[in-house]
Structure 1
Amino acid sequence: MQINVLEYLERTALRFPQKTAFADDDGALSFSQLQARAQGLGSLLAAELAPRTPVPVLLEKSPGAVAAFLGAVYAGCFYAMADPSLPDRRLVGLFQVLNAPLLVTDAAHAQRARALFPGRVLVLPEDDPPADPALLAARRAQATDADPLYAIFTSGSTGVPKAVVVSHRSTIDFIDAFTGLFGFSHQDVLGNQAPFDFDVSVKDLYTGLATGATVYLIARKYFSMPARLLDLLCRQGVTSLTWAVSALCLVTAMNGLNYKTPDRVRQVLFSGEVMPPKHLRAWRKALPNARFVNLYGPTEITCNCLYYVVDRDFADDEPLPLGTPFPNERVFLLDENNALVTRPGGLGEICVAGSALALGYYNDPLRTQAVFVQNPLHNAYRDPVYRTGDLARVGDDGQWYYAARRDFQIKHMGHRIELGDIEAALAALDGVDRACCVYLADRRRIAACYAGTAEKADVAAQLRKTLPAFMLPGLYLRLEQLPMNKNGKIDRAALTARLTEKGGGPVDR
């Protein structure tokens, strides 16, 4: 029985020691090199940290970052990616949630790390440190599959980010099903699009380790240059794309597939947002022999819980089904009275049970208890369920179709974002008295509405210093007063109607 993801690496390093495991524009690591580097770093960390300690990693997406993640795991700890592109204030918020004693970084980010992080900063040495086999063996001997493996931050409605902690067990359970269902092998080359602080990347990382597939880490810059992106896919012989919907739409929106077809791609798996049928049709036309799969699932249930293999073209106004549950995952709909929804036309919240569930939010028991709950259908035994907050409707064909968010969380540019997080940052700015954000789904834009004296351009400039790029509003609307409903709350519907009718004045970023 496998209890640790490191067994993926160790088995694959025995089978394919010299095969490229991870590569990018600047270099590559073979499976044997990756294992040696991770064991050396793990020995350094194990000498200083207790098991199950969080290890923030402030590195660019690279093969070296993967080695740092696995080094934390060899030490019996768990890793959390801290993307250097995040603003200082956001990084400080992540560090405060983790309250970690040590951070891993490199020379390029060491000065910034020391200024922002209150604990010890471990700068990766130029040469791989030696491994301590006895220390590593002792750490492995006390480990269980319920131990945390990684933490990924999601947006928080109070302005404080949430760290979703996922165990070895959940990751192994999902990756074994994922790689088996979609036939990944050592002959594949995976084109990694997702940043390492986005859980889509988990599928790339551990699929590569489990199967021996090579993972090519595609730099962010390529996704603003479709021609160069497609050149890269062809040059590297990429066979599989597990991408956010927004990344696929970028290529088709800029007519990239008219320039070149990455004809070695045999499957495209997408998630994060609702896939527009016209973009899907363009990809299917360009790759008629490839398999296309619609994936659904939030970070809290370890990547995905539902999948639908696309078997036909869909009209522009025709939604894609959410599909079938992954093995060993129980997925069901509950209405507002916590009753099962099964009838056609019924609307309910998507709920998930099984070993795929995350351990919860790190250092945040109240928010954990709010969504990781006892199954409302019974109290006979402990049966944890994650309430996703996503609503789905049962179609006449018996399939489920995504409907909306239950709250003010949105899916934008492949990321799950709580509008309250942006509102908190907006309300904290000078010259902003009250603030409200709405999402214009048909235009795929976040709109920031506020009352105050600050000019829109100044508000936009200030937000760029505090929020990640994917959370920045694309529209700004300044009012003397925000509209209120009969309950004395900000009338979001009125704001949405006004923005839809007149627009809020786009601001260049």
Structure 2
Amino acid sequence: MTSLPAASSPTTLAGLVGRAAALRPDGEALIGLNRSFTWPEVHDRTARLAQLLVAGGVKKGERVAVLRPKGHESFEAVHAILQAGAIMVPLDPMAPAAAAAAVLADAGVIALVGHAETIKRAKPWDGNGPDLKLILATGSTESIQSDVAGSGISLVDINELANYPLPERLPVVTLDDPSYLIYTSGSTGTPKGILHTHSSGLAYARCAVEIHQLNQHDRLAAMTGLHFDMSTFELFAIPLAAGTIVEMSEPHLRFPASFTERAAEQRTTIWYGVTFLLQQILERGALETRDWSSLRSVLFAGEVFPAAALRALMEALPNTVFENVYGPAEVNASNVYRLTRPPADGESVPIGPGCGDAEMLVVDETEQPVPPGTKGVLWISASTRMREYWNRSDLTAASTRRREDGPDWYVSGDVVTKESDGTVWFHGRSDHQVKLRGIRVELEGVESTLADHPDILHAVAGPSGYRPGTLAATVVLRPGVHLDVRAIQKWSANRLPPVAIPAHIDVAETLPTTPSGKIDRKRIRIALAAAKETA
């Protein structure tokens, strides 16, 4: 077992695991599906894996991808890469080979840490990873030996990490060094790489620990994929607090009752998930059959939480604090709002004031500040801000506004209002507004209103191909309910302007989702716009 460092405050993300091990030498770090690991065990395993990366020729600042189902080994891979001084690139293990290939090529990935079966599906040796030189794999590594042979890629079996040496010395990592490169899901356009530093990642972890009051007794239910930016809470904030992570498998997240069973049995104290997943847990998670006396906080992010569904979940978990977390991947989580009561029908929930040193500026179309309470585009200045978009200096320049007295502004593209007390309200994205009959309509507002209808679980709205110049919507109804378009339109007339009432409504059993688990609104809106009335 490697020697433990002092339990002083970490100076980079590379020191998080070692500090947690020093703080909790007997404390559980990861509750896996088959066994648990203490923080010293995780520290030992990550150090050995970091040494393998360095010995395999990975240099400081080079990109190393993680491609495997989530579990203790994915967590260890992330921190080993950071300790080796490399840049961690998480890949979606469920993505098609073409999607993985695009990231491998764009990021110039040198090494890959993953699971043999998952790696085999991605076929990185078929020219999909042109810069790839090293694969460290668990699982049936013999299943990919013949594929790797002759490719110039070295394959190392890491099923028995304890057989490999501990490092004598690893590269010195500084706050200004890049730490991770995460690619967006493409829900707002073409996927792009977002490069963060050790400084921005650690600033986020410290902010999260402070604002959510994380401590060594917390047990987080791991609800987000490694390739989704919300996973930084699990990867960085929980280790900083020296808490515990309860791993969830894909089936646990796909079947809400399985999730709640494991979450309750493991006495989880915190959930942090996207709105859509939490709604699925409300609808099909058998919440009323579980003991939730340990659950102190539910954090939600990624999408607007319809008021009716949020109220129902809060009523199902009456002793739990609910917090709305906001922040593009470019700035991690910059705002948090703690609810004091369940929302009424049609009532919006603020995204809250800034977290830590985050400052908010709301500007008009000429980039001039607007008065309090006036809609405009949100700019964010925070130490949690990314360094740049990878290989996209044009996007970096377009999203950056210089600031002399603090971190540069990030131009979010989100439409908000900011009150004089600093409270910020989200109204949608500027690129999710449409003009119908000369009137600007915010699609998220229409969807949130429809989702408050007692018969509707989920709704997506967009310009209609059925009847140009109007809106259409696709909805998921509650079980046993039949669509009554006129009744929904009549109900909506008391809540929406006439131009925003959908003229056509489709019913779907389920809605497609993005790799990060959000509703794939872009895909649904394209289908609505392309649709035609049938005879």
Q: TM-score, normalised by structure 1?
A: 0.78
Amino acid at match of 1:405: R
Q: Distance in 2 between matches of 1:105 and 1:348?
A: 44
Q: What per-residue deviation string (whole Å, max 9, x for no partner) do you get for residues 58-85 of structure 1?
A: 1111110111111111111111111220
Are 1:127 and 2:164 an aligned pair? Answer: no
Q: How does 1:89-488 map to 2 (within 5 A)?
A: 89-111=98-120, 112-115=123-126, 116-118=128-130, 119-124=132-137, 125-128=158-161, 130-136=164-170, 139-140=171-172, 143-156=173-186, 160-254=190-284, 256-302=286-332, 304-344=333-373, 346-375=374-403, 384-394=408-418, 399-408=423-432, 441=447, 442=450, 443-445=458-460, 471=520, 475=524
Q: What per-residue deviation string (whole Å, max 9, x for no partner) do you get for residues 329-382 of structure 1?
A: 1122111121112332x011111113111011112211111112324xxxx678
| Equivalent residue in structure 1 for 2:41, among 15, 18, 33 | 33
What is the RMSD of the two structures over their aligned residues, measured on CA atoms? 3.2
Q: Distance in 2 between matches of 1:256 and 1:4?
A: 41
| Residue matched to 1:421 | none
Between the two structures, name the one with larger relative contact order (CA 8 Å, sep ≥ 6): 1
Q: Distance in 2 between matches of 1:315 and 1:72?
A: 46
Q: What per-residue deviation string (whole Å, max 9, x for no partner) do you get for residues 412-448 of structure 1?
A: xxxxxxxxxxxxxxxxxxxxxxxxxx98835544879
Q: TM-score, normalised by structure 2?
A: 0.74
Q: Distance in 2 between matches of 1:135 and 1:409?
A: 54
Kept in 2: contact 1:291–1:309 (CA 8 A): yes
Deviation at 1:188? 1.2
Deviation at 1:134? 3.3
Q: 1:468 to 1:401 in 2, by over 3 A?
A: closer
Are 1:64 and 2:73 an aligned pair? Answer: yes
Q: Distance in 2 between matches of 1:343 and 1:250?
A: 36
Deviation at 1:35? 1.1
State the identity as a percent: 23
Deviation at 1:131? 4.0
Q: 1:252 to 1:350 in 2, by over 3 A?
A: same
Amino acid at match of 1:365: S
Q: Distance in 2 between matches of 1:350 and 1:158?
A: 16
Kept in 2: contact 1:320–1:401 (CA 8 A): yes
Q: Distance in 2 between matches of 1:383 and 1:397?
A: 22
Amino acid at match of 2:169: L
Deviation at 1:227? 2.0
Q: 1:122 to 1:151 in 2, by over 3 A?
A: same
Deviation at 1:223? 3.1
Q: What per-residue deviation string (whole Å, max 9, x for no partner) do you get for residues 173-217 of structure 1?
A: 121121122221111111110111111111122222112211012
Kept in 2: contact 1:81–1:197 (CA 8 A): yes
Q: 1:225 to 1:133 in 2, by over 3 A?
A: closer
Q: Distance in 1 between matches of 2:516 and 2:347?
A: 32
Q: What per-residue deviation string (whole Å, max 9, x for no partner) do you get for residues 90-120 of structure 1?
A: 1111111101222222332343343333322
Q: What per-residue deviation string (whole Å, max 9, x for no partner) do you get for residues 463-499 of structure 1?
A: x9x9888648765888xxxxxxxxxxxxxxxx66x97
1:295 aligns to what SS in structure 2?
strand
Kept in 2: contact 1:448–1:475 (CA 8 A): no
Q: 1:287 to 1:171 in 2, by over 3 A?
A: same
Q: What per-residue deviation string (whole Å, max 9, x for no partner) do you get for residues 285-329 of structure 1?
A: 222222111111110002x11111101221121100121111111
Q: What are structure 1's unaligned runs of at least 5 residues?
A: 411-437, 451-463, 479-494, 505-509
| Residue matched to 1:456 | none
Q: What per-residue deviation string (whole Å, max 9, x for no partner) do you get for residues 259-307 of structure 1?
A: 43533101111111111122222222222222111111110002x1111
Deviation at 1:254? 3.1
Count of residues paired in the alignment: 436
1:80 aligns to what SS in structure 2?
strand
